Structure 1
Amino acid sequence: MKVFIAALAPLVLLGACSNGGGEAASPAGDDRFAGLDQEILAWRTDIEAGNPVCSKKVDGAGCEGFQVTCKAERTITPDDQAKGVTAKLVAAMTFSGKGAEGRPGSAFAEFSRANGAWTRSETSSVNLTTCAG
């Protein structure tokens, strides 16, 4: 029985670091991703304001059904470390234009955290489920 439990221990630890679907997760007490949720909400607002799919407004809004489909950590390079980057990830979001003529849309962004502040930049398309590039 002890051998069985010892064999499962690494799997349990892996489960604590990843929640499947390519989403970035962190073990309890790891605050590298603190504030990311607010940054993703700001990204959603920027998509609503500037994405062509959202340009036609219905009842004051241009898009609906916003969903973050994946988040995945990216490797922090030595150059990133020199800039103080402590967390880096890519995310994909899907949405659709409102109304009967609404078209589907998607957006991709890379988030980096340095000196306690998040920055966001557009990035090339990634797989909407796994965030693989």
Structure 2
Amino acid sequence: MIRTVALAGLSLVILTACGKGADSGAKAEDPNVALRPLIARWSKDLEATHPACGVKVEGKGCQDFQVTCKAIHEVSPDDAKKGITDQVVAAMTFAARNPDGSTGKSGSAFALFSKTGDTWSQGGSDPVNLQTCAPV
């Protein structure tokens, strides 16, 4: 239990650290705060549905969820017509758990977060570089 809480806290610290600061050309509004609940839900969804997390050990299928990068994603003209004003792409890594509780095979997932009005939503994303979030 303590490990789970520590890992969740570490994920939030990493999430904050991965965001671009205003001095690096990012938009003035920092999406990190608004995306935290979505990213927490994303890790829970991955644990429930990702094939690497299928074998459950003490109710947990994966561990060590870490957001490895987040980057502003250019809003396409078609998305802008739908009212989307901002987009952020993110990559997350995690590891399966072996029956003995040790770390198993690593996995990764990608998401595109879109802002319409004051609301952020999550959608799928093509794979990106795990460190830079650049398309692969």
TM-score if structure 1 supplies the norm length?
Answer: 0.75
Q: Following TM superposition, where does structure 1 have runs of at least 4 consecutive aligned residues deviating by more than 3 angstroms?
A: 31-34
The code of the aligned residue for 1:65 comes to D
Residues 12-32 of structure 1 show CA distances to partners (whole Å, capped at 9, x for unaligned) of: xx953449xxxxx543xx255
Q: How far is the alpha carbon of 1:77 from its aligned partner? A: 2.2
Name stretches of at least 5 consecutive residues in structure 2 with no aligned partner.
Answer: 1-19
Rate the CA distance shift 1:62–1:69 in 2: closer, same or farther, 3 A: same
Which residues of 2 match residues 1-133 of structure 1 at below 5 A?
16-18=22-24, 26-27=27-28, 30=29, 34-99=33-98, 100=102, 102-133=104-135
Identity of aligned residues (%): 46
Q: How far is the alpha carbon of 1:125 from its aligned partner? A: 1.0
Rate the CA distance shift 1:15–1:67 in 2: closer, same or farther, 3 A: closer
TM-score if structure 2 supplies the norm length?
Answer: 0.73
How many residue pairs align between the two structures? 113
Rate the CA distance shift 1:34–1:109 in 2: closer, same or farther, 3 A: same
CA RMSD of aligned residues (A): 2.2
Q: Secondary structure at the match of 2:56?
A: coil
Q: Secondary structure at the match of 1:103?
A: strand
Measure the CA separation in 2 of the matches of 1:87 and 1:33: 13
